Structure 1
Amino acid sequence: MIPLVTHTPRLMLLAASRALLTAELHKPQYFPVLLGAALPADWPPGQYDREAMHYFLEQLTDGGRTAAGWFGWYALHKATAEAPRTLIGAGGFMGPPDAAGVVEIGYSIAADWRGQGLAQELVAGLVQQAADTGMVRHLIAHTDADNLASQQVLLRNGFARGVPVSDGRLRFERPVEPTPAA
């Protein structure tokens, strides 16, 4: 079973569920209550849009329990004495690994939370999550050629620039070493 919550120093990463995605899409007033977090004003961020939400919900519905943890993840900034727990971004995998153990990741951070190293921390959490499954051998990610900040996030997380893809985006990739069993 894949863990559905993981922690980084400042973030709690929570795997999307059918209940959370349904609320996010159809009952947005209940979404922050179910999530247990405040929402940023510009939610949803970047490429995490309604189309992505629908895709993740469809995959979780079709795949049942085996799909849990292989699609969307919410990035929640941990509560502090000064601020409540807040949803600051989303990321995740585009599905379970293929036969060769390859998985694609993606991520977006809400505008007010950018420039604080949180995207780098989110990606590091996703890399660790992939390693912890023991099933992933290689990660890939794509970013627009003009998105230098995203490219730096990937490079700082051990990704190397691969070949450009036909739509003009840049491909990044990195090997994943499974986490040794305790």
Structure 2
Amino acid sequence: MIPLITQTPRLTILAASRALLTAELHKPHYFPVLLGAALPTDWPPGEYDRAAAEFFLDKLTEGGRDAAGWYGWYALRKAEGDTPRTLVGHAGFMGPPDATGTAEIGYSIAADWRRQGLGTELVAGLVAHAADTGMVRRLVAYTDADNPGSQELLRRNGFEPAGSADDGRLRFERAVEPAAK
């Protein structure tokens, strides 16, 4: 079974469930209660929009237990001092790895929480999670050519430029070594 929660120094990264996605999409007043976290003012962030949440919910519904952990993940900033546990971003895989062990990741951080290294930490957590599964050999990510911050985040996590997609976005890749058991 794939772990559905991972920890980094400042983040708890929680795999999206059907219950969380349903609340986020259809009962938003229950969403922060289920998460046990405050929401940022600009939720949802960046490219994580309603269509992405619906995609993740559809995939989790279609795939049942085998799909858990292969789609959306919520990034929760751990409580610290007077700051409560807060939802700061969303990331995820676009599905399980293919036959070659390649999986695609994406990520978005809420505007109020950018430029604090949380995106780098979030992606590092997903890379570690991918290694822990023992199923992923290569990760792929795409970012806009005019987003140097996202490109630097990927480089800090061991990704290297690997050309571009048909839509003009830049492609980055990195190898994933299975975690030592």
For residues 131 and 90 of structure 2, what CA distance do their matches in structure 1 show? Answer: 19
Write out aligned runs for 1:27-176 (5 A): 27-176=27-176
Per-residue CA deviations over 1:36-62 (Å, capped at 9, x if unaligned) read 000000000000000000000000000
**SS state at 2:44 partner:** coil
C-alpha RMSD of the superposition: 0.4
Give structure 2 stretches of 5+ with no counterpart: none
Percent of aligned pairs with the same amino acid: 72
Q: Give 1:71 shift.
A: 0.1
SS in 1 for 2:163: coil
Task: State yes or no: 1:16 paired with 2:16.
Answer: yes
Amino acid at match of 2:101: G
Shift of 1:164: 1.1
Relative to the length of structure 2, the TM-score reads: 0.99
Cα distance in 1 for residues equivalent to 2:57 and 2:157: 28
What is the TM-score of this pair, normalised by structure 1?
0.99
Q: Secondary structure at the match of 1:43?
A: coil
Query: Alignment partner of 2:6: what SS?
Result: strand
Give the secondary structure class of the aligned counterpart of 1:55.
helix
Counterpart CA distance in 2 for 1:137 and 1:84 is: 36
Matched residue type, 2:14: L
| Letter of the 2:167 counterpart | D
CA shift for structure 1 position 81 = 2.0
Deviation at 1:80, TM superposition (A): 1.2
Show structure 1 runs of 4+ deviating over 2 A: none
- CA apart distance, 1:171: 0.1
Equivalent residue of 1:48, what SS? coil
